[in-house]
Amino acid sequence: MLLKRFMENMQHNKILTVTELTLSIKALLEEKFPLIWISGEISNFHKAASGHCYFTLKDEKSQISSIMFKGQNKKLKFEPRDGMKIIGLGRISLYVPRGTYQIILEYLEPKGAGELQAAYEQLKAALAQEGIFDEKFKRPLPFLPKKISIITSPGGAVVHDIIKIIIRRFSSISLEIIPVKVQGHGAEDEIVLAIELLNSRKDSDTAILARGGGSIEDLSAFNTEKVARAVFASKIPIISAIGHETDFTIADFVADLRAPTPSAAAELAVPLKKELVQKNNELALSLKFKISGYCNQLKIKIDDLTDRLVDPKKKIYDLRLKTDDFSRRAGIIFKNIMSQKKEYLEWQNSMLYANSLFKGIKNLNEKLEKSNANLLNYFNINLINKRSALKEITAGLNALSPTAILSRGYSITKTIPGGIPVKDSDKVKTGQLLETMLEKGRLISQVKEIK
């Protein structure tokens, strides 16, 4: 029954190959442990011809195969050996051909330096977040400083190397050594006081903060916050030259310029005098050639202009002839203009005489008298005509007037009251009063009888 159920499950599940299973385990390990810190003792250490280092890390109960590739080996500040206890940073991986897991290390340090390294990383992260490592705060170095101050231990080989190189490169530069402790108790305080002294005097153009190589414990004074803030606050540009090329301290990140070695710091601080002299000679020679060439070009241009230039006397003579010609032509033009003006003036005079004011008034008076005579004749004729017409109308009115009829013996009778002319005897009544109009006077009568 159990065998039957087992066979049924196999039919539903995928059957993995050894490689597939190994790759799955590799993926799980690398995902679970991407980057870890590990401590242990080195054993079976050997360095292959490829430059890769192979060894075993072990403790009292377990061991693990370890590898460090060539690129990471170059960054080691010590030589690993059997029996050495170390702390390393790496990632877990699985070697597929053998099916064994291993750790690929990216960083190694002797055990005991781990706390200093952790403090270094924490301070570095805090100061970086604060922004004092930013490039915008870096001060430029003077091209040719008059005085350089060297902050270092006066008894080490570093100060002698720096002095030797600066004197070789530019012997006339003034040098000052500010002696300080570069490791051990009180070193960071002396370094801070030296930087503050340098800034209070303000007589140096550049400062070099230097010491030789060493372990992280030896360089601990340059990994403190006090030294970092003193370097950052310095108004005088500071070159850091601490340890070897692979050594990095907090002071390196804060300084205005980091030199890989103290000797390199000396070379960066001052230019090579021979090169400056040679460059100056080359520039002077180049300037001389350019000025000479420019002068030659100007000379050629002047010669060309000289050849093209006309004799001034001839030019004056030509201008004199031209002036005489202009004068003659101006005289002719002036005479013509005066003649035209004279003719025009005479014409204006004749026109003015022809249109004299007195002559115009006389003509107007004649026209006015003629108009008055015509108007008087018109009024006289019109008056005669009006009088004739009035006589005709008067005669017509007289012919039609009732008074004219009365003069011929007729009379007009009207009723009283009313004044209605009596034309029919039937229109009046007996006893009614009547008014009779005669040519001369009026009569009031009363009707006695109607016939």
Domain spans of the chain, in order of start: 2-111, 118-271, 406-446
Residue-wise pLDDT tens digits, 311-348: 677 777 778 888 888 888 888 898 889 888 888 888 88
Tell me whether residue 57 is exposed, middle or buried, using C-beta atoms within 10 angstroms of its C-beta: 0 to 12, 13 to 18, 19 or more. buried
Kindly give the residue spans of alpha helices, DSSP state H, lying in 202-272. Answer: 225-233, 250-254, 262-269
Distance CA 286, CA 298 (A): 18
Q: Regarding the domain with residue range 2-111, which homologous superfamily does it belong to in the CATH classification?
A: Nucleic acid-binding proteins (2.40.50.140)
> pLDDT at position 6, please?
47
> pLDDT at position 210, please?
92
> pLDDT at position 24, please?
82
Distance CA 346, CA 354 (A): 12
Retrieve residue 149's tokens.
């101050």
Residue-wise pLDDT tens digits, 86-110: 888 888 888 778 777 888 898 887 7
Distance CA 69, CA 28 (A): 23
Q: Are 108 and 88 in contact (CB under 8 A)?
A: yes
Radius of gyration for the alpha carbons in the chain, expressed in angstroms and rounded: 70
Residue-wise pLDDT tens digits, 383-420: 888 888 888 887 777 766 666 677 777 778 888 877 78
Distance CA 136, CA 131 (A): 10
Neighbours of 417 (CB within 10 A): 8
Q: Which CATH architecture has domain 118-271?
A: 3-Layer(aba) Sandwich (3.40)
In this prediction, the residues of the chain whose per-residue pLDDT falls under 50 are 2-3, 6
> pLDDT at position 2, please?
46
> pLDDT at position 358, please?
67
Distance CA 53, CA 213 (A): 24
Distance CA 443, CA 434 (A): 8
